Structure 1
Amino acid sequence: MTSLLENARRIVVKVGSALVTNEGRGVDIRAIERWAHQIAELRAMGREVVLVSSGAIAEGMKRLGWTTRPSRVCELQAAAAVGQMGLVQAYEEHFAAHGIGTAQILLTHANLADREQYLNARMTLIELLSLGIVPVINENDTVVTEEIKVGDNDTLGALVTNLVEADVLVILTDQRGLYTADPRSNPDAEFVSEAAAGDPKLEKMAGGAASQLSKGGMITKILAAKRAARSGAGTIIASGREEDVLVRLAKGESIGTHLKPASSVLHARKQWIADHLRSAGRLVLDPGAVRALRESHTSLLPVGVKAVEGDFVRGEMVVCVDEEGREVARGLVSYASDDARRICRAHTEDISRILGACDAPEMIHRDNLVVL
């Protein structure tokens, strides 16, 4: 097996806190220097690189003299604000030593959920890459709230991968890759060198978070690979402790777990819809509607909707579930929740009579619908 990175032109690299900090005691300057050196080598090979880096909160904790990660949101936000200064300064200094400019990009889920902001972020990143700049991306922890946060940088890496239409997402961690079980507690665990992104078996293999400094774990990496595959990107989960891991991967060496994408790729607009992490509500569908969406790829009509849950306005993203609550699809709804409830189970020709006007014959038009 050869590396997914060998022929990749545009790459998103995510490095976790354990790989850029001294076990939580601030930024590890030598580690930053190593990442800058490796990415400079990738750039010399003609690759474009976007870097998603953790470490701001750990650096902030050091600067503030805190020995344990705080639990209060305001404290975490303060630590992120303080630490982001040191993290970005370190990257800027060490990339500059290779003649490479950097740019800081701070994002929230709200930025990516808004179509206009999403496209603006995409255009900015593409322009930076064309200028030879390495964007350094992190979640905007200083202003983020539960409703608008991405939650972990593995997911953020996948969202950015889809945003810039990268060829490969590389998730670097302090573990070799994916095992069939937790190798720290199960001696019979077998290493997984290659698999298909989105394979349900992978999610069963994944464990929880590895340390108190990390918000993620192997499960977030598996789900990130599944998300990145929607735009046709492969994912590599590998140990950042391996010497020159990025350079060796780019030269074709097989290191870590390689998760290949499915053959089907979503259209850019539908990728954006699928990448919404939070929904405004739920539509419960009858079996006929579920079958029509999956087999015929039709629009969702009101007659197939059994129930409406939540409060939402027209154009917001809602999740469509079957009668057992399993997610079937998601899309941008054509009616606000109050009107949607009134036209549940109604035929298209009855919408005008019920509401006084028919804004759309569909509850969700197929162009605004992603079947999962």
Structure 2
Amino acid sequence: MRIVLKLGSNLIQTQEGDIDLSFLSKLAREIKTMKEQGDEVMLVSSGAVLCGAKKLGIKEKPKNLVLKQALAGVGQAYLMHIYDVVFSNYGLIPAQVLLTSDVFKERAKFYNSKNAIEEMMRLGAIPVINENDTVAVSELVFGDNDFLAVHTAFMMDAELLVILSTAGGLRDQQDKIVPYVEDIEKAFALVRGVNSEFGTGGMFSKLSATRIALSLGVHVIITGKEDSLLKVRELKTCGTYFKPSEKPLKRRKKVIAMMEEPKGIIYIDYGAYKAVKDGKSLLPAGIVKVEGVFERGDTVSICLPEGYLVGKGKVSFSSDELIKVMRRRGQEVKTILKTNKEEAIHRDNLVVF
């Protein structure tokens, strides 16, 4: 099985703020056993900024982007040193991979990166993947590495994505772990009802990334670092297992979802969201707002009014045209735009997560 493990910064430190060498040793032992069983394992690991702050004695989380980039430059070397020291005790060789979002937008860079990671695994190394924070121009290019993990799973054709979380999994209103999720939308309803440090922030990001992974046909488990990865790889967990879509996206739509750069955002109402989830095209009547400048055939993100990302698609009309006809129906759209088309995004060019 090909597996992507995602570790956040909080996972690699103890409650006292020290590097959790015990957990990293447990991780290495289990990865060694998994490799011996024929599994291929990749890590998507945060922690460069955290490690840089520790090296330089900075106690507070940096808010300034330039400081964050500088700390990442210092900390990435330290982070890889930690992985090298711990993993070497178990005969494992970590290999550093730093990615930026353009890797998933340009075909040549995408396949060059994929081939390099494939070769690392062929040589027996464990790819340790992180966003290249030192040169990233946005603080949330991928969203705390949750989306980077999904992009990695897509690029490397992984079968299982394991997101390790301090929450230990999705929690219900009574703060108990939800063991199994078949309907991801019901999971979002739970998150909105949780008032905790991992509720509307970290867990929402994880569920948003999970929704995309499930549409790709990838199994997803969100669990804590105490869980056994040897059981997790058998889809048994003390965390939360998310069932992938029975009808995963076809290759063309996967490319739209994962590699096409959005040129703008279309916000839709809940009626339109229900319609597109049922396999229908997106009509101008369901559009409540348009952001950005784009032309016919460009790819845009699709969000609910609150800003939740729910899909992507190639538009039939430009941003100026959609502003003229949003909230309008059928013949009215055709008359205003002097066209025979009615769909803002045809279902064949539409991806709903």
TM-score (norm: length of structure 2): 0.79
- Looking at structure 1, the residues matched to 207 and 272 of structure 2 have their Cα atoms a distance apart, in angstroms, of 30
Secondary structure of residue in 2 paired with 1:179: coil
What is the alpha-carbon distance in structure 1 between the residues aligned to residue 7 and residue 213 of structure 2? Answer: 16
Distance 2:288 2:11 in 1: 49
Would you say 1:259 and 2:255 are equivalent positions? no
Counterpart position of 1:82: 74
Which of 168, 175, 178 lines up with 1:192 in the alignment?
178
Q: Say whether the 8 Å CA contact 1:56–1:84 is kept in structure 2.
A: yes
User: In the TM superposition, what is the alpha-carbon distance from 1:108 to its structure 2 partner?
Assistant: 2.6
- 1:73 paired to 2:65: yes
What is the identity, as a one-letter code, of the residue corresponding to 1:35? L
Greater Cα offset, 284-293 or 271-280: 284-293
Determine the structure 2 residue equivalent to 1:369: 350
Partner of 1:355: none
Q: Provide the residue aligned with 2:329 in structure 1.
A: none
Report the Cα distance in structure 1 between the residues aligned to 2:15 and 2:271, rounded to whole angstroms. 54
CA distances 1:271-312 after superposition (whole Å, capped 9, x unpaired): 2322469732245789999999666766x7999999864213
Which residue in the other structure is 1:105 paired with?
97
Structure 2 matches for 1:291-330, cutoff 5 A? 309-312=291-294, 316-319=298-301, 329-330=311-312
For the 8 Å contact 2:298–2:314, the answer to whether it is kept is yes
Which of 183, 208, 224 does residue 239 from structure 1 map onto? 224
Name the structure 2 match of 1:184.
none
Query: Given the alignment of the two structures, is residue 273 of structure 1 paired with residue 265 of structure 2, yes or no?
Result: no
Query: Within 2, Cα distance between the matches of 1:141 and 1:305?
Result: 35
> How many positions carry a matched residue from both structures?
345
- CA deviation profile, 1:86-137 (whole Å, cap 9, x unmatched): 1112212333333333221122333323344333333333333333221101
Structure 2 CA distance for aligned equivalents of residues 22 and 143 of structure 1: 28
Find the aligned partners of 1:370 and 1:317 in 2 and give their Cα distance. 11
Give the match for residue 62 of structure 1: 54
Structure 2 residue 37 is the aligned partner of structure 1 residue 51: no
Q: What is the SS of the residue equivalent to 1:142?
A: coil
What is the 5 A alignment of 1:1-372?
Answer: 9-23=1-15, 25=17, 27-146=19-138, 149-181=141-173, 188-196=174-182, 198-206=183-191, 207=194, 210=197, 217-242=202-227, 245-250=228-233, 253-275=236-258, 279-282=262-265, 309-312=291-294, 316-319=298-301, 329-333=311-315, 337=319, 345-346=333-334, 368-372=349-353
SS of residue matched to 2:248: coil
* Residues 136 and 216 (structure 1), Cα distance of their counterparts in 2 relative to 1, 3 Å cut: farther
Consecutive unaligned residues in structure 1, runs of 5 or more: 1-8, 182-187, 353-359
Measure the CA separation in 2 of the matches of 1:108 and 1:49.
21
Contact 1:27 1:86 in 2 (8 A): no
Distance 1:288 1:151 in 2: 28
CA positional deviation for 1:42:
0.9
Cα distance, 1:12 vs structure 2: 0.7
Per the normalisation by structure 1, the TM-score is 0.75
Instruction: Verify the 8 A CA contact 1:333 1:363 in the aligned structure 2.
Output: yes
CA RMSD of aligned residues (A): 4.0
Deviations 1:161-211 (A, max 9, x none): 222221111111223322212xxxxxx333311111x52121121247737
Taking a change above 3 Å as real, the CA distance of residues 313 and 77 of structure 1, as seen in their structure-2 partners, is farther
Structure 2 distance, partners of 1:177, 1:287, is: 27
Relative contact order, higher structure (CA 8 A, sep 6+): 1
Question: CA shift at 1:62, angstroms?
Answer: 0.8
The percent of aligned pairs where both chains have the same amino acid is 35
- Relative to structure 1, the CA distance from residue 337 to residue 116 in structure 2 (aligned partners, 3 Å threshold; closer, same or farther) is farther
- Secondary structure at the counterpart of residue 130 of structure 2: strand
Query: Structure 1's 336 and 129: CA in aligned 2 closer, same or farther, altered over 3 A?
Result: farther
